[in-house]
Structure 1
Amino acid sequence: MFFLLKFACRLLDLGCPVAFISQMGIHLADGQIISRVAIRNLSIDDSEAINRVAANLAPFE
């Protein structure tokens, strides 16, 4: 689950509406879920991939 926490922190830093983390993945404030399988396929150090994910999410308002 540590990789979910690291990924959620990166998304929060980019202004994404992270609500909570569960065994399913990262839950966003608008009801979307980023599955843990999808997150595992991304490298936490791949800033470009994380920026692409963040760009598709609604920002905090």
Structure 2
Amino acid sequence: LPDGAPAELRDICPLNESGDPIESLPPESCWTIGPFEGRLAALQSELDGDQLRRMLLRSLFQKK
């Protein structure tokens, strides 16, 4: 962005456009990607009080 503000942009793969939203799937239909994602989720949970709202990845590592 011209003002230097962070922004998040993403494209959706056409293969992922159809079907049920992931939030509606039962846990047994999902799998974890790996241990690092679990660690990042734990860090995020600490920062936002278990809300698990979307946030910039770099914000998990900024000193406050």
TM-score normalised by structure 2 residue count: 0.27
TM-score normalised by structure 1 residue count: 0.28
**Bigger fraction of residues in strand:** 1
Q: Whose relative contact order is higher, 1 or 2, with alpha carbons under 8 Å and at least 6 apart?
A: 1
Larger Cα Rg: Structure 1 or Structure 2? 2
